Amino acid sequence: MYKVYGKITDPNIDRIVNDKLKFDDLNKELIYDVHVDFYNPDLEAEMLNAEVSYEIKKEHYLFIKKIRSMFDNNQIKVNEFYLMGTIADLPENEINISVLKSQSDKKKNVVWPCKEIFLFEYQKKRLDALLLSNQISVEDYESNLEFLKDELNIYESEEDHKYIN
Beta bridge partners of 80: 108
DSSP letter for each residue of 65-83: HHHHHHHHHTT-EEEEEEE
Pick the more confident residue, 69 or 153.
Answer: 69
Length of the chain: 165
* Residue range 61-68: mean pLDDT, rounded: 95
Q: What is the pLDDT of residues 96-138, one digit of tens each?
A: 999 999 988 899 998 887 776 666 666 777 778 778 888 778 8
Say what the pLDDT of residue 79 is.
Answer: 96
Which neighbouring-strand residues pair with 112? 84
pLDDT of 151 reads 62
pLDDT value of residue 108: 93
| Per-residue confidence (pLDDT) for residue 116, from 0 to 100 | 67
- pLDDT band with cut points at 50, 70 and 90 for residue 145: confident
Q: What is the pLDDT of residues 9-36, one digit of tens each?
A: 999 999 999 999 999 999 999 999 999 9
d(CA 16, CA 146): 41
Binned at pLDDT 50, 70 and 90, residue 160 comes out as very low
Indicate the residue type of 45.
Answer: A
- The number of beta carbons lying within 10 Å of the beta carbon of residue 138 is 8
Scored b (16 or more CB within 10 A) or e, 105-123 reads eeeebebbbbbbbbbbeeb
Strand order of the sheet with strand 31-39? 2-5, 94-101, 31-39, 77-86, 108-112
Say if residues 124 and 148 touch (Cβ distance below 8 Å): yes
